Amino acid sequence: MTEAVGWYPVAASHDLPVGHIYQTRLFDCPLAIWRASSGEVNIWQDRCPHRGVRFSIGTALGDELRCQYHAWRFASGSGSCTLIPAHRDRPPPRTIRATVYPVVEYGGLVWSSIVDGESHPPIFAHGVVLRAIPVFRPAAAVEGALTSLGLRDVKFFVQPIASDRSVIRGVAIDDASLLEYDALLERLRRELEAS
């Protein structure tokens, strides 16, 4: 699928309590996203370089992520491997590291960039981040349907999961209509997925 230049929202800030590993995909690239105890957000390819096990079934331990298979540990920020328990008497080879993607946390959302272009995600007025609604339809179709809604007090961003799947991420000016917007988006999803 063609990947557009720029930044895409891949999570909400509220999706990332410390000690949790969040899982998503962007343009079919699996991502493991976690917040270290320092507050720093990490977006890594969801795959341990050792034997290809998903990081997202692992454990976030403070400032390190531990892989579920052999308990290898990887540092927040650099993604460098910091511990190989089978050989804990020596430091891990420097070449072993997680694949790290760019991350910006802004406006209550977490953004990543597949192809560096713009220096910052789109600027918008901060508000209340709505519940994310995954839809089994391409991003373009979903964007079109959202525009047709003509809502003025919500800004929508659409994350392309894969060519046939996306996630609606809305930011409302306040939380007065949270439930209404939620019901509206669920109905929109039903309509899109039925067509």
Partner 1 sequence: MDLVLWNDWHVVADANTLDEHRPLRTALLGVPLRIARDKGGSISISKDDGGLVHGEVRHGFVWACLGLPAQPIIDIPELGGEAKCAVSAGAMAVYASAGRVIENFLDLAHLGYVHAGYLGAEPNTMVESYEVTGTKDGVRATRCKTYQPIRRQSKSQDFLGEYVHVEYNYIVERPYIACFEKSFADGHRFMVMYIFAQPVDEEHTVAHTLLILLDEIWDVVQMRAAQQLVFMQDKGILENQFPKRLPIGAGMEMPVRADRTSVAYRRWLADCGVTYGVIRSPMETAA
Partner 2 sequence: MLLYDYEAMGECYAVRLLAALLGVQLILKPVDFYPGRAHEAEEFIAINPLGTLPVLDAGEVVLLDWQAALVYLAANSDPTGEWLPTANAVRFAKVHDWLGIARKLGDSAGAVRLHDTIGLDADVESCRAQAHRLLRLLERQLWFVERSGDDWLIPGAHPTIADIAVFVHVILCEEGDVERMDYPAVRRWTDRVRRLPQFLVSSSVFPLPPI
Q: Which does 80 bind (CB under 5 to 8 A by kind): partner 2, partner 1, none?
A: none
**Pick from 77, 30, 76, 23: nearest CA to 52:** 30
Nearer to partner 2, 10 or 81 (CB): 10
Element (H, E) at 182: helix 178-194
Q: Which does 87 bind (CB under 5 to 8 A by kind): partner 1, partner 2, none?
A: partner 1
User: For residue 125, which amino acid is it?
Assistant: A
Q: Which does 52 bind (CB under 5 to 8 A by kind): partner 1, partner 2, none?
A: partner 1
Binding to partner 1 by residue 53, rule CB under 8 A?
Answer: yes
Query: Please, which of residues 1-40 interact with partner 1 by CB under 8 A?
Result: 28-30
Binding to partner 2 by residue 17, rule CB under 8 A?
Answer: yes
Other C-beta atoms lying within 10 Å of the C-beta of residue 34: 25
10 Å CB burial of residue 14 (0-12, 13-18, 19+) is: exposed
- Cα–Cα distance measured from residue 135 to residue 158, given in angstroms and rounded to the nearest whole number: 10
Residue selected from 1, 18, 149, 176 as contacting partner 2 according to rule CB under 8 A: 18
- Shortest approach of partner 1 to residue 74 CB, angstroms? 12
- Cα–Cα distance measured from residue 99 to residue 162, given in angstroms and rounded to the nearest whole number: 20
Binding to partner 2 by residue 132, rule CB under 8 A?
Answer: yes
The DSSP secondary-structure symbol of 56 reads: G
SS3 140: helix
- Shortest approach of partner 2 to residue 107 CB, angstroms? 18
Binding to partner 2 by residue 24, rule CB under 8 A?
Answer: yes
Other C-beta atoms lying within 10 Å of the C-beta of residue 91: 11
Residues at the interface with partner 2 (CB under 8 A): 11, 14-15, 17-20, 22-25, 57, 59, 61, 68, 131-132, 134, 167, 178, 182, 186
